[in-house]
Amino acid sequence: MPAIIESITTQLVDLPTIRPHRLSMTTMACQTLVIVRLRTSDGIEGIGEGTTIGGLSYSAESPESIKCNIDAWMAPLLIGQPADNINALMARLDRHVRGNAIARSALETALLDSQGKRLGVSVAELLGGAVHKHLAVLWTLASGDTQKDIDEAFQRLDERRHQQFKLKLGANALRDDLRHVESICAALDGRAGVQVDINQAWDEATAVQGIAALEAAGVALIEQPISARNVCGLTRLANRFRVPMLADEAVQDTGDGLTLLSAGFSGAFALKIAKAGGPRGALALARTAQAGGIGLYGGTMLEGTIGTAASLHAWSALPSLEWGTEMFGPLLLKDDIVTEGLRYHEFGVDLPRGPGLGIALDEDRLRFYSRP
């Protein structure tokens, strides 16, 4: 007799960041996580996380809408169903729910965690097995202050925590952003790699001017310089410059991946489980990219430990991630809601051990940071 899903609950959790995190569309001083707890008739609990960036400033889903749509629409479709057939459960959601990729990802993560615990295997094993047990992780320098960012970069290098850095651009005038990048590249002077994320802030003409200067400064990768809708423009930029373009907001799932490949895009894809509706969707996009000769990058929505662990289990199952990962979300937070955090060392992070995600909630801290 298969275990039955008995309940699915959600909690909004507000965790402060270690410093303001400045992006082109918002500045974050707090990250809100939607924690999903799925309980089954055999006494197993699966946990998941749905997280976005800056409320509604990044995507069409907010923490509040994720919680509401799971509670009102998605959980009732799963409660009472057998818990062990994840394909059937997610297909059931596909038939009745449109969009809501982040909410889907949180539910799929909880289902995978539950099934892994049931079988005594990790989520990575459920996804085909871990090729990597330690994954490279970059750090985003986003204080908004050039000297602070330089000091932060050297501190991370000295700690052997990160040796690749991303700079967030687009909130300032182009000349100011370029001066900021050039100063940091000169200060690092080959000790670390630098890439930039524009978060769609430029038009194509500005991008042509900006990318030429960034390429000259030694930037290694340029993420989503223009609107996600401008697939032809992104392809033109990828073909015009030597420095690769990284598609992020432009590539949510396999459909977007095929669109970019058909347009002749030759850069890299940023994978995110939240964009793809869960770890399995992100891996499907990865396979599409690899078939088309596109490099991969393990992206983040600045998730906490649960969402980051789910991503790591997925990325570990890939033969290669040419551009590494940015799974630093938990390091941006002042506190955590788990009993044991992820282990960051030697410029990367270890894959969690144990069945399921290998993560357990700290009930006291969860209560402390949860909204009433």
HEC-encoded secondary structure of 279-298: HHHHHHHHHHHHHCCCEEEE
The pLDDT value recorded for residue 236 is 98
Q: What is the mean pLDDT of residues 29-43?
A: 98
- Shared domain for 170 and 277, answered yes or no, is yes
Hunting for tokens 């940023």 — which residue is that? Answer: 270
Residue 24 has pLDDT above 80, yes or no: no
Q: How many domains does the chain have?
A: 2
**pLDDT one-digit tens code per residue, 72-109:** 999 999 999 999 999 999 999 999 999 999 999 999 99
- Shared domain for 27 and 145, answered yes or no, is no
Hunting for tokens 């194509």 — which residue is that? Answer: 204
> Where would I find the beta strands (DSSP E) of 210-306?
222-223, 245-247, 268-271, 295-298
Sign of CA dihedral 340, 316, 246, 106: negative
The pLDDT value recorded for residue 306 is 99
- Shared domain for 334 and 248, answered yes or no, is yes
Q: What is the mean pLDDT of residues 304-309?
A: 98
Hunting for tokens 């976005």 — which residue is that? Answer: 52
**pLDDT one-digit tens code per residue, 196-237:** 999 999 999 999 999 999 999 999 999 999 999 999 999 999
- Shared domain for 112 and 200, answered yes or no, is no
Domain CATH for 92: 3.30.390.10
Q: What is the mean pLDDT of residues 126-140?
A: 98
Domain that holds residue 79: 5-120+362-369
- Name the active-site residue from 49, 249, 303, 326: 326
In a domain, 97, yes or no: yes
In a domain, 357, yes or no: no
Query: What is the 3-class SS of 40-82, one letter each residue?
Result: ECCCCEEEEEEECCCCCCCCCCCHHHHHHHHHHHHHHHHCCCE
- Shared domain for 318 and 193, answered yes or no, is yes
Q: 2 with 41: CB under 8 angstroms?
A: no
In a domain, 289, yes or no: yes
- Shared domain for 73 and 132, answered yes or no, is no
In a domain, 204, yes or no: yes
352 CB neighbour count, 10 Å cutoff:
24
- Shared domain for 57 and 158, answered yes or no, is no
The pLDDT value recorded for residue 21 is 86
Distance between CA 122 and CA 295 in Å, rounded? 26
In a domain, 10, yes or no: yes
* Residue 54: band (very low, low, confident or very high) from pLDDT cuts 50, 70, 90: confident
Nearby residues of 71 by Cβ (< 8 Å), 6 or more positions away: 10
- Shared domain for 115 and 133, answered yes or no, is no
- Shared domain for 132 and 257, answered yes or no, is yes
326 as an active site residue: the answer is yes
Order across the sheet with 27-40: list the strands: 5-22, 27-40, 45-51
Domain CATH for 254: 3.20.20.120
- Name the active-site residue from 117, 166, 168, 272: 168
In a domain, 355, yes or no: no
In a domain, 356, yes or no: no
- Shared domain for 130 and 106, answered yes or no, is no
275 as an active site residue: the answer is no
- Shared domain for 27 and 139, answered yes or no, is no
Q: What is the mean pLDDT of residues 177-190?
A: 97
- Shared domain for 179 and 317, answered yes or no, is yes
Distance between CA 241 and CA 260 in Å, rounded? 17
Residue 1 has pLDDT above 90, yes or no: no
In a domain, 234, yes or no: yes
